[in-house]
Structure 1
Amino acid sequence: MERLVRERTEVLTALLTIVSLALVFGAVLRVGPATALPAAPDAVLAAIPHANAAISATAIGTIVVGVRAVKRGDVRRHKRLMATTFALFVGFLALYLYRVSLLGPTGFPESAPAWVETYVYFPVLAVHILLAIVCIPLVYYALLLAYSYPVAELPDTPHPRVGRAAAGLWLISFALGIVVYVLLYWLF
């Protein structure tokens, strides 16, 4: 299996990226039957943004500690932390997609000043979304390389370069997601 993944890393990255983005855009655009999903109580749906903010903060921590671990040569710890970060991302995405599929995207509160929406919220949200989209193939590619190559060979692959880019962009995306959360659920 590892050999197959190694030989088709680019194709698998593209397929996983397409499926992931199709799920996200399908949920946001409300394509597909939301009625097929089991309905959760309102309290559960209301708790999802708060849970996702906590997941994002935890992911920021696992990325930072994971990057530090690999810089110190602790590859085993780095591998565990990056796998944990990916699991956190999958959990975040599942909760986000579930909520958005049922309720649609959260709009900016009408009670907030229009200038905050125009000059703060929309730019932060746009960069957050753009970085999230860019990160998806980078993360898949780095993970597939890590899965399909022995640790000793990884430095000779694009994994270190792609991993650095993915980690940096992922950090910024998670952090901006928390800013969006604060704007939507705490400030306004």
Structure 2
Amino acid sequence: MDLRARYRVPALTGLLTIVSLALVFGAVLGAIPQSVVPHAPETVLGAIPHVNAAISALAIGTIVAGVRAVRRGDVARHRTLMLSAFGLFAGFLVLYLYRIVLEGPTDFGGPSVVETYLYLPFLAVHIVLAIVAIPLVYYVLLLAYTYPVAELSATNHPRAGKLAAALWLISFSMGIAVYAMLYLVW
């Protein structure tokens, strides 16, 4: 537990959020040059969306198990599962950013009417939820890191954790649906 960080949780949350979102938007908008990352073979780049869908499914299971563990009072298991979920998220993000920097966003291959009225609105909601979830996840993790377990219930950790977990689950689930629309259906 770091007492200096305890009093800077909101500032650290903001800083981590800004860095994360800058990386994502920088990659999506092409601001990160391809020359800064090593190039993988096409088979590796082509596998990344499928691996990320599997990571998302694992993260969903891990988050659900983590929520169940804390409801049963198993804080140690909850911590392990939520840190695992965060690790899965970090792995997902690294792979996603890597592929986006090298190849750019994937174009929708289905009919334009489906793209306009289903895919793009669905994708927009997924993106907004992911953007909102990021600072909540950082905030909850920083609270858990800077406070002893006995004091966490007196912080915003339980309330913010419920919201973070819900948004995270919805965002991961919607991400799998986006994957299905891009790679399985069309």
TM-score (norm 1): 0.97
**Counterpart position of 2:19:** 19
Cα distance in 2 between the residues matched to 1:36 and 1:70: 41
Cα distance in 1 between the residues matched to 2:26 and 2:80: 31
The answer to whether the aligner puts 1:146 opposite 2:144 as a matched pair is yes
How far is the alpha carbon of 1:121 from its aligned partner? 0.7
User: Deviations for 1:4-46, whole angstroms, at most 9, x for unmatched residues?
Assistant: 1101001100000000000000000010221121100000000
Cα distance in 1 between the residues matched to 2:113 and 2:59: 31
Aligned positions of 1:38-77 closer than 5 A: 38-77=38-77
**Counterpart position of 2:173:** 175
Identity %: 66
Cα distance in 2 between the residues matched to 1:178 and 1:81: 20
Aligned positions of 1:28-39 closer than 5 A: 28-39=28-39
User: Deviations for 1:122-163, whole angstroms, at most 9, x for unmatched residues?
Assistant: 111111100000011000000000000000100000000000
**Counterpart position of 1:89:** 89
Equivalent of 2:121 in 111, 120, 123:
123
How far is the alpha carbon of 1:176 from its aligned partner? 0.3
Aligned positions of 1:5-16 closer than 5 A: 5-16=5-16
Cα distance in 1 between the residues matched to 2:140 and 2:36: 34
5+ long unaligned stretches in structure 2: none
How far is the alpha carbon of 1:113 from its aligned partner? 1.8
Letter paired with 1:42: E
SS in 2 for 1:156: coil
Cα distance in 2 between the residues matched to 1:95 and 1:32: 15
For the aligned residues, what is the CA RMSD? 0.7
Count of residues paired in the alignment: 186
Cα distance in 2 between the residues matched to 1:68 and 1:150: 21
Cα distance in 1 between the residues matched to 2:13 and 2:143: 10
TM-score (norm 2): 0.98
Letter paired with 2:21: L
Moved segments of 4+, more than 6 Å: none
How far is the alpha carbon of 1:56 from its aligned partner? 0.2
Cα distance in 1 between the residues matched to 2:168 and 2:126: 9
Letter paired with 2:183: Y
